[in-house]
A = this chain, B = another copy of it.
Amino acid sequence: MSQQTADPELYAEIQDFYARHMHLIDAGQVDAWVETFTEDATISNNVNPHPAHGREQIVGVIRRAQQQLDADGIRHRHWMGMLVVEPTADGTVHARSYAMLLAVRLGEAPVLDRSTRCHDELVRVDGDWQIRSRRVHHDGRP
């Protein structure tokens, strides 16, 4: 097996990126979070047949989801792990990872809500990493 090991500096940088990305969404800072995507970013998954295109659509989807969470009294904690980072010749970085979602209700123990695999394409924009394409596979869903 040829491992095509990522540059260790890049590896740590991408980990740091995802940590900030997850803190923002879990804290409900949607406007700052969506800036971790490119203007024309696409998010798709195996559950919803309609991908979201562009920051406006992405924010719309997320705000509705967060209103539902608020109504239900649930906090989310997104954990990213098992990160594989693959740079390409044109500077795009492919990042494949696992993500799990913990859901916490007031006064209750956390619940393991979801397990996913995530394949992102990241590009540098003005010195910062941004996600141009995200494909999520929800485990346990066809």
Contact = CB atoms under 8 A, between A and B. Distances in A.
Interface of A: 1-3, 5-6, 8-13, 15-20, 22-23, 32, 35-36, 75, 77-85, 96-98, 100, 102, 104-115, 128-129, 139-142
B98 A142 contact: no
A13 B5 CA distance: 7
Contacts of A106: 140-142
A79 B107 contact: no
User: In the complex this chain forms, how many copies of it are found?
Assistant: 3
Contact of A3 (B20, B98, B111, B115): B20
- What are the nearest 7 A-B pairs in CB distance? A8-B12, A8-B9, A110-B115, A11-B12, A104-B140, A104-B139, A19-B82
Contacts of A114: 109-110
Given A19-B84, A79-B98, 20 more contacts: A1-B36, A1-B128, A6-B12, A8-B9, A8-B13, A9-B9, A9-B12, A16-B85, A19-B83, A19-B97, A75-B139, A75-B140, A79-B82, A102-B115, A107-B141, A109-B113, A109-B140, A110-B115, A110-B140, A111-B112
Contacts of A5: 13, 16-17
Given A110-B139, A112-B102, A140-B104, A16 B84 contact: yes
Dominant secondary structure at the A interface: mixed
